[in-house]
Amino acid sequence: MENKELLKTAVNALLDKKAKNPQIIKIGDLTVLADYFILAGGTSTTQVKTLADEVEKKLSEKGVSPTRTEGYKGANWIVLDYIDVVVHIFHEETRQFYDLERLWQDGEFINIEEI
């Protein structure tokens, strides 16, 4: 699956479940960690888990599974690693605390409408 299709599927899954302020940051020019980060928030641990479940479900329907998943048990910050695209789903307070948007501000913020 191409990155653009993976981004679109993941973001649509997040939007379907009412994720708070989803963001896409292109970081491939800055690091070898991934090409893109998707950041999204939830208002409760239940919603954070639901968002992660929905992303996994929609991508698995297209034959793509994360190579690694972290944080599901605590559900304050769940990371779904799809190699080139890493999805970060935060409880809103945790998102504000770690502020990845600021840490990766040198990356290119992609307009979700364009995906």
Give tens-digit pLDDT for 21-78: 999 999 999 999 899 999 999 999 999 999 999 999 999 999 999 999 999 999 999 9
Q: Which fold has domain 3-114?
A: Beta Polymerase; domain 2 (3.30.460)
Q: Which of helix, strand or coil describes residue 57?
A: helix
pLDDT of 1 > 80? The answer is no
- pLDDT value, residue 114: 79
- pLDDT value, residue 37: 97
**Residue spans per domain, the chain:** 3-114
* CA–CA separation, 54 and 30 (whole Å): 29
- pLDDT value, residue 115: 76
* CA–CA separation, 91 and 43 (whole Å): 6
In angstroms, the Cα distances linking 75 to 53, 89, 97 are 11, 9, 15
- pLDDT value, residue 44: 96
* CA–CA separation, 26 and 29 (whole Å): 8
